[in-house]
Amino acid sequence: MRKILRHMKEYRKESVCAPLFKLLEALFELFVPLVMARIIDIGIANGDRGYIVRMCLVMAALGLIGLICSITAQYFAAKAAVGFAAKVRHELFAHIQSLSFSEMDVCGTSTLITRMTSDINQVQSGVNLFLRLFLRSPFIVFGAMVMAFTIDVKAAMIFVVVIPILCVIVFGIMLASIPLYRKVQERLDRVTGMTRENLQGVRVIRAFRREEKEIETFEQGNEALVGIQVLSGRISALMNPLTYVVINGGLLVLLYTGAIRVDGGFITQGAVVALVNYMSQILVELVKLANLIINVTKAIACGNRIGAIMDLEPDVVSGAGASKTETANEKKGNVPAVEFDHVSFRYKNAGADSLTDITFRAMPGETIGIIGGTGSGKSSLVSLIPRFYDVREGCVRVNGTDVREYQLDALRNKVGMVMQKAVLFAGTIRDNLLWGNEHATEEELREAIHAAQADEVVFKGKGGLDAVVEQEGRNFSGGQKQRLTIARALVRHPEILILDDSSSALDFATDARLRQAIRDLAGERTVFIVSQRASTIQYADQILVLDDGAIVGMGRHEDLLESCEVYQEIYYSQFPKEDAQ
């Protein structure tokens, strides 16, 4: 919580003004029972209507001034809370963007979404209420007790007994509620995760007729959330009845004591009314204080959850820069564009390595094909080149320099990558292509589209480059999205182009034209093609065959057909043996 509260320093003026104006409002409110007592004891007792009118005007003035103070306090509190929440949200989003894929995998998308939305909103609400009430409510409670002593010491002793009992109730319930609210947010994470999975996979769910099972699973998660919310709600709900019982008991004793004191001539009738008013004020303020404590408790729990994400240190840290080393290596000549030197890699919290002792070299202008069975480590291997993950052992070099020495921006500017899952963002086709190079010209965009075999997607529909792309590219088919993401990568003119199974939704003819177009564009560009289709990678300069995270074959297509059993198995499962001869 402390980690995010530092943003309140920028709102010091608002953080001081909000409670101060609330104190002024409370101060004027404490004078109202005294004015009322004078109306009863002097105006009504003596039948002085003029005095009653004057005192009523005084009460109206006190109310108006209090209202102005309250609105001013609300303005400052809202400004501080909203500004604080906005800065926390910006910092949290920036921090999430700095996390490596490892931390993202461990945290999970649903958890991060909950932190960015529900948790920050709860913290904002807590800050707002705290600034407005954390001084006002205690001031009214103890101020009313002090004012009661100025009226009558013996009657005021009732306040001395009632207030500590109320504090025990309020703070006891608060201590019992804190861990429960933390559990509420954790179970909310799970429900958010289930909801996200169901909405993203709705087509799969319907295709396999799993609606009822998913509804049942969701209901179980939702019931668990409701159960803990009901428990925390029941404990919190004890606040009002217990405080009302204590306050009303105090009022009964106060009225009885007041009647005796009036009958004995020690205090006036107006004084009793003033004491009752002060007791009522204490009741109202303690209810407010109870709600404040509940909301602040939730805000602290949510703030700690946000702080836990902020405390995550990214595994992948940008290097100091490798420009001089890289230039020196390039002058030497014959330096591999990409080199894996005895690389082993393991995902965080995994029990075994995903890649083991990977060694190969890719020279500038070469096309490297990577093939293997599902789960053999193909995507893991190419993810190490732009340093989405760090190796456990060994070294990955780009242009002869360890990728850990590069600044991340400089390294990733050299790489154009098309992921397995084609991702487009809401906007236009032009907006999406400019992600590759925001300064790209119209001609460069058209060249990239043509090379990616996306002319039909872009220019035969309405709008051309300015055609609308819906969220996640829902208005495009899988093959269309793949071609547009390939075009986005080509717009960058990268030194290293990585196609991670990015043509799986394309027909064989389009796939062949795409590979030919990339070869024509290649020049000194090093291309990595990950695929499970042998036809996609068979003309590569070098083919890596992976099996269970290790290279079991490396060479050209013809050589691997003779020497590598895994490659033979993959190839002949897709092409009859007579066609290969």
Q: Which residues contact 552 (CB under 8 A, 6 or more apart)?
A: 545, 546, 564, 566
Kindly tell me if the per-residue pLDDT of 211 is higher than 80: yes
Q: Binning pLDDT at 50, 70 and 90, where does residue 72 land?
A: very high
CB 581 within 8 A of CB 568: no
Alpha-carbon dihedral sign for residues 310, 316, 322, 326 = negative
- Separation of alpha carbons 325 and 429, rounded Å: 38
Task: Write out pLDDT tens, residues 504-519.
Answer: 778 888 888 888 888 8
Q: Binning pLDDT at 50, 70 and 90, where does residue 459 land?
A: confident
Q: Binning pLDDT at 50, 70 and 90, where does residue 276 land?
A: confident
Name the nearest CA neighbour of 131 among 271, 258, 16: 16
Return the higher-pLDDT residue of 291 and 216.
Answer: 216
Q: For residue 324, what pLDDT is reported? A: 54
Please state, for a pLDDT cut of 90, what percent of the chain lies above it.
21
Average pLDDT in the 489-497 region? 89
Task: Write out pLDDT tens, residues 308-326.
Answer: 888 888 888 877 765 555 5
Kindly tell me if the per-residue pLDDT of 112 is higher than 80: yes
Cβ burial of 264 (10 Å; 0-12, 13-18, 19+) is exposed
- Separation of alpha carbons 237 and 239, rounded Å: 5
Type of residue at 42: I
Q: Which residue in this structure is represented by tokens 């954390």? A: 134
- Separation of alpha carbons 83 and 74, rounded Å: 14
Return the higher-pLDDT residue of 30 and 577.
Answer: 30
- Separation of alpha carbons 139 and 145, rounded Å: 10
Q: Say how far residue 293 (Cα) sits from the centre of its chain.
A: 25
SS3 222: helix
Q: For residue 101, what pLDDT is reported? A: 82
Q: The tokens of 307 are what?
A: 């702080």
Kindly tell me if the per-residue pLDDT of 340 is higher than 90: yes
Quote the DSSP letter at residue 116: I
- C-alpha distances in Å from residue 426, one per residue of 93, 199, 467, 469: 19, 17, 11, 5
Q: For residue 342, what pLDDT is reported? A: 92
CB 479 within 8 A of CB 510: yes
Task: Write out pLDDT tens, residues 216-272.
Answer: 989 998 998 899 888 888 887 887 788 788 888 888 888 888 888 888 888 888 888
pTM: predicted TM-score of the whole model, two decimal places? 0.72
Q: Binning pLDDT at 50, 70 and 90, where does residue 195 land?
A: confident
Type of residue at 229: Q
Q: For residue 577, what pLDDT is reported? A: 65
Alpha-carbon dihedral sign for residues 451, 456, 457, 458 = positive
Average pLDDT in the 455-481 region? 85
User: For residue 530, what is the enclosing H or E element?
Assistant: strand 526-530
Q: The tokens of 486 are what?
A: 């390939």
Please state, for a pLDDT cut of 70, what percent of the chain lies above it.
96
Q: Which residues contact 29 (CB under 8 A, 6 or more apart)?
A: 62, 66, 140, 281
Kindly tell me if the per-residue pLDDT of 561 is higher than 70: yes
Kindly tell me if the per-residue pLDDT of 381 is higher than 90: yes
Average pLDDT in the 442-446 region? 89
Average pLDDT value over all residues in the chain: 85
CB 326 within 8 A of CB 81: no
Q: For residue 254, what pLDDT is reported? A: 85
Q: Which residue in this structure is represented by tokens 């005084």? A: 58
Q: For residue 82, what pLDDT is reported? A: 93
Kindly tell me if the per-residue pLDDT of 436 is higher than 70: yes
Kindly tell me if the per-residue pLDDT of 79 is higher than 90: yes
Cβ burial of 460 (10 Å; 0-12, 13-18, 19+) is exposed
Q: The tokens of 395 are what?
A: 């070294």
CB 549 within 8 A of CB 566: no
Return the higher-pLDDT residue of 413 and 189.
Answer: 413
Kindly tell me if the per-residue pLDDT of 398 is higher than 60: yes
DSSP 145-180: HHHHHHH-HHHHHHHHHHHHHHHHHHHHHHHHHHHH
Q: Binning pLDDT at 50, 70 and 90, where does residue 523 land?
A: low
Average pLDDT in the 20-45 region? 87
Kindly tell me if the per-residue pLDDT of 210 is higher than 70: yes
Task: Write out pLDDT tens, residues 90-110.
Answer: 999 998 888 888 888 778 777
Instruction: Give me Rg for the CA atoms of the chain.
Output: 35
Kindly tell me if the per-residue pLDDT of 579 is higher than 60: no
